[in-house]
Amino acid sequence: MNGRSLQRCFVATIVVCSLAFGGCLTLDPTVTADTNGSAVFERIAPSESWSSQRVRAKATLTASPSAGNVSTITVVSASGTSFSTAPIDPGQTSVSLELPANETAMLVASDAVNGTTIEKLNVTTGGNELL
């Protein structure tokens, strides 16, 4: 191994150990949401096999007229603050979201043009936390 490769390996080891021993590394993250009867969300699932403080998830939108009116999805954390926001373009059928790790949040689908809330959906993230 040359010096540069050894340095990269050392830095990567430090980062992984810091995350693992800091209690903020989650393997096999899960996203639980009751999308039965949802006018906007068809399915929500994690898109990566690990997470730190954010779980990246893919939300598939329904083909309903209500979903067609959604222009923004805001993730609101359990504390009531905005955690992340994702814009939706007309005709878009899926969106990548960032959810808070290991807690419950609310997805707020809204029409930014007229300022109306179309739907709110509770989601819970989990997984195998490394301590």
Show pLDDT as tens, one digit a residue, over the chain (131 residues): 666 777 777 666 666 655 555 556 888 899 999 999 999 999 999 998 888 889 999 999 999 999 999 999 999 999 999 999 999 999 999 999 999 999 999 999 999 889 999 999 999 999 888 75
Write out the residue range of the structural domain in which residue 29 sits. Answer: 3-130
Q: How far is CA 61 from CA 43, 49, 122, in A?
A: 7, 22, 15
Q: Could you tell me which residues come within 8 angstroms of residue 66 by beta carbon, excluding any fewer than 6 positions away?
A: 39, 40, 118, 119
**What CATH number should be reported for the domain holding residue 114?**
2.60.40.10
How many separate domains does the chain show? 1
